[in-house]
Amino acid sequence: MARIRAQFQDYIHELQDEICSAMEQVDGKAKFQEDHWKRPGGGGGRSRVLQKGGLLEKAGVSTSVVHGPMPESLKEKMNTEGQDFFACGLSLVIHPESPLIPTVHANYRYFEMYDEEGRQLDGWFGGGTDLTPYYLDEADARHFHNCQKEHAEPHGTELYPAYKKQCDEYFWNHHRGEARGIGGTFYDYRKADEERQLEDWMAFNMDMGRSFLPGYLPIVEKHAGESYSEEQRYWQELRRGRYVEFNLVHDRGTLFGLQTKGRTESILMSLPPRVRWDYNYQPPEGSPEQELVAVLQNPRPWADE
């Protein structure tokens, strides 16, 4: 599958350039700092981080191409006899300063597994994009979801509803009984089968990556000039605490990166710079903050509303 590896690597690097350029333009002040790193055991990556911008408090857009022996802990978790792996992908998290602009996360990846003779045992695509608002704007939610639906439907009308459901289930803080955000799409282990070849899943994954900017940028631009209070900023930092909890407790990507000796700074670039935990904080009944929590506890079918 050398051709697929090469094509997808080119794609994630081009997408990284496109997203970083667009986010620098909308921020209007700061630039991404680029950091090349090598992974002990094989491969490396290109991390880009923007901090203390005019609009974005912290934004990380990272690509990686890594390979090497499968850690025993992952072999057990994945129930595989694979000895070596190859993985490449793009991962991003954007934390705007304004609590009226949602945080957003996206990841698009390809994985291969090999036996002890170097023969490929398996290969699959995965990815997704999800939105984490601090104040609910239903028009934003519908726009974000409809954009992903429109990019998914040419590859099968059944894909968006299935992966929207998977997103709601995956980005769920089980210990809190609520979603991390209002979802989007999430999919993994998309392999060749009777209906689709691996190239078809690559085309789907690429189109989902292309849905990111038209899905998110209009939301950023819509709220960029709106004023907000210190109380709203405080609420944002409380909700960021829940974001951190998910990433460190439940996220498989974080676990994979740390267990395969990935670069810690790049893996944890998803964490926000300002965050807080207050003991047993409950938003006032009937408040905008309580409205958001109610939706996080009961996900809605945004694209169908």
Q: pLDDT tens digits for 28-47? A: 999 999 999 998 889 999 99
Kindly report, residue by residue over 66-109, the tens digit of the pLDDT. Answer: 999 887 767 776 667 788 999 999 999 999 999 999 999 999 99
Q: CATH for 2-274+283-297?
A: 3.40.1500.10
**Per-residue pLDDT, 119:** 87
Give catalytic residue positions.
105
Cα 238 from chain centroid (whole Å): 20
Half-sphere exposure of 203 (CA within 13 A, CB side): 10
CA distance 59 to 70: 30
How far CA 201 is from CA of 215, 235, 283, 298, in Å, comes to 21, 39, 42, 30
CA distance 160 to 138: 19
CA distance 300 to 48: 33
**Per-residue pLDDT, 117:** 83
**Per-residue pLDDT, 270:** 86
Kindly report, residue by residue over 156-184, the tens digit of the pLDDT. Answer: 999 999 999 999 999 999 999 999 999 99
pTM higher than 0.85 for the full model? Answer: yes
